[in-house]
Structure 1
Amino acid sequence: MSVRAGQDSDEVLVSQPLWDYLDAAGQPWLLDFQSKHGLRVDVVRRGERGGCCAVRLRPVDGAAVAGPVPSSSRRAFMDLCRCARKEMNKQDGAPKRKRSLLPCVGVTETDGEGSLLPPPPPPTRRSQRQQAKYRKSADLDSAISLPISHEVPTGRKAEISVISSGEGDNSTCSICMGEIVEKTTLDKCGHSFCRACLDRAFQVKRACPVCRLVYGPLIGNQPANGSMIVERDPDLELPGHEGYGCVCIIYSFPPGMQAQEHPNPGVRYPGTDRVAYLPDSPEGNRVLGLLRRAFEQRLIFTIGTSMTTGMQNVITWNDIHHKTSIWGGPRCFGYPDPTYLVRVTEELREKGITAD
């Protein structure tokens, strides 16, 4: 369950069908709740296509309640939602779901006004020739146009061993696609490039442009004023991970100003809140530890253009996939997804985040 406490209000994420039921047939319940607790319940962000919405609890003007909403009132509202869900299940004959307050459609981006948006459509299928061409283009982009990453400041500069001017069968540089000049071979992966091309690529990201093997620790340009909060729910089971509880990761970033490391220094960016889920299993907790390290190295998010909304100068995910929904499978960024924990581990490895 995602609850975000503010200075004088609280927000709770509920499924859109549940709120529609409360707002229509359950209206007397809301009136009774408001009268008993001296609170108002309003929608502040609504998802499109029936996804989920955020509702805010705030004191009614002139009510005895002042300051932050008491936790007892929040729990009472959650109990109200659970009762409403049970009534919906009885009427629709639908199977019961645990903790229906959690969003059932993945939320990947928010627009400038904070409205919740649906997930992007599934990617277009490509032929084998198109896939090979796409991978080749992606390798070039990784060396030229990736979000700027910087070397973590340490007591000594990370050493990168190379073998220069060596002999080899491959005489074409994968970066400039021309004949290699001053051949430089990376010692860990064995890929070779022009010395000047490799120097320019490492100014963008200290990783092999072909296999993306990281050379030295990285630090990204994720806004430094964010927080990562972890909550555990032993009663909530993720599909495909039955027998374990759920780990809820809450990322929160207030609005801020872009720094010199960002695309447009001095330009403001809006704040955002994201919720992600992991199974509370040994493997899930191992991935959680890797995500903590990635967050500390400012690699989870970046500032740029949202691929979902097209908005510029916003906080976006930085190629480390998260499950932002409990249900719906991979298409809705939810579970079940048997390969997810392996995939995200590989994504973290590509950024130099590995288990010690």
Structure 2
Amino acid sequence: MVSLVFPYTRKAFIDLCRCARKEMSKQDGGPKRKRSLLPCVGVGVLEGDGEGSLLPPQPPQPRRSQRQQQRYKKPAEEEACVVLSNSTSHNESGQRKCGHAFCRLCLDQAFKVKRACPVCRQVYGQLIGNQPTTGCMMVERDPDLELPGHEGYGCICIIYSFPPGLQAPEHPNPGVRYPGTDRVAYLPDSPEGNRVLGLLRRAFEQRLIFTIGTSMTTGMHNVITWNDIHHKTSLWGGPHCFGYPDPTYLVRVTEELREKGITAD
């Protein structure tokens, strides 16, 4: 309930406020400074220049410093989906281990293609490919054969062998025949080369080295092809001939394996 304020009471209150401002200015010993009016018991505080309604005093609002504002971050439940740029709180999926946040719909669609973060491609879980299950991987070593750029080390020879067969339901054309193939690849018999060899073994076990599709070199369809993990199929000739020397090859193939979830950890 709002109390009635008579004109003479209102005038007396305004005069009292003016006197108070004059006294405060004298005590400060400087020019007049704008101050907010103190609440008066039983009367209230006038808005603006004293011509508005009487309102109860407002509590002081805490102010955040500029440095605090810069350090302020949204809580995790309000992180924006990096695909749709909206909040993930309604279709909750939240942040992945890599730090990228997605809504459930976007993440489900992405994982249907590959169980990896669509932004940084970090793999979640164990990735299994569709390499034919009938193949084998054999390893031989020649201590007297040195690869260009890796002098002082022997050579690791990797032999992949696949017999002909029929495409499975996971392949592009189930029931269609594919021809057999044999592939040979080379690594230096060095600590780095043996580390890559161990990663390639795991990739082969997870059926990630090969797939069935269209050959990039011959254009033939329904054949066994490499699956984005590059191999050196020649001893010499450099990168243009898929051979050595190639100073960054071991680093590149390690990154390709990492993108499929194959790491040394």
Q: Give TM-score, length-normalised by structure 1.
A: 0.50
Q: How far does residue 180 in structure 1 lie from its aligned partner after superposition?
A: 6.3
Stretches of structure 2 that go unaligned for 5 or more consecutive residues are: 1-74
**1:256-312: per-residue Cα shift (whole Å, max 9, x none)?**
001111111111111111110000011101110110111011100011122222222
Within the candidate set 83, 97, 108, 1:199 is matched to 108
Task: Output the amino acid matched with 1:307.
Answer: M
The one of 197, 219, 230 aligned to 1:288: 197
**Aligned partners of 1:165 and 1:184 also within 8 Å:** no
Normalising by structure 2, report the TM-score: 0.67
User: Identity over aligned residues, as a percent?
Assistant: 81
Q: Does 1:324 align with 2:229?
A: no
Which residue pairs with 1:256 in the alignment?
Answer: 165
Match of 1:166 among 77, 85, 91: 77
What SS does the aligned partner of 2:77 have?
coil
Superposed CA offset, 1:201-252 (max 9, x none): 2122111111110101111100000011111111100000000000000111
User: 1:337: which partner in 2?
Assistant: 246
The CA deviation at 1:355 is 1.4
Query: Which of the numbers 234, 238, 256 marks the counterpart of 2:147?
Result: 238
Greater relative contact order (CA < 8 Å, ≥ 6 in sequence): 1
Going from structure 1 to structure 2, the CA distance change for 1:270 and 1:196 (only over 3 Å counts) comes to same
Amino acid corresponding to residue 224 of structure 1 in structure 2 = T
* Counterpart among 256, 260, 264 of residue 351 in structure 1: 260
Match of 2:51 in 1: none
Does the aligned pair in 2 maintain the 1:191–1:210 contact within 8 Å?
A: yes
CA RMSD of aligned residues (A): 1.9
Per-residue CA distance 1:50-83 (angstroms, 9 max, x = gap): xxxxxxxxxxxxxxxxxxxxxxxxxxxxxxxxxx
* Number of aligned positions between the proteins: 189
Task: Determine the structure 2 residue equivalent to 1:310.
Answer: 219
Separation in 2, partners of 1:296, 1:192: 31
Structure with a larger share of its residues in strand? 1
The residue aligned with 1:219 is 128
2:46 alignment partner in structure 1: none
Q: Would the aligned equivalents of 1:244 and 1:280 in 2 still touch at CA under 8 Å? A: yes
Deviates more, 1:294-303 or 1:192-201: 192-201
Distance 1:310 1:166, change over 3 A: farther
Contact 2:257 / 2:263 at 8 angstroms: preserved in 1? yes
Label 1:262 to 1:180 Cα distance change in 2 as closer, same or farther (>3 A). Answer: farther
Runs of 5+ consecutive residues of structure 1 not aligned to the other structure: 1-163
Counterparts in 2 of 1:243 and 1:261: CA distance versus 1, 3 Å: same
C-alpha displacement of 1:171: 5.1
Shift of 1:186: 3.6
Opposite residue 273 of structure 1, the aligned amino acid is D
Instruction: Give CA deviations for 1:139-170 in whole Å, capped at 9, x if unaligned.
Output: xxxxxxxxxxxxxxxxxxxxxxxxx98223x5
1:219 partner SS: coil
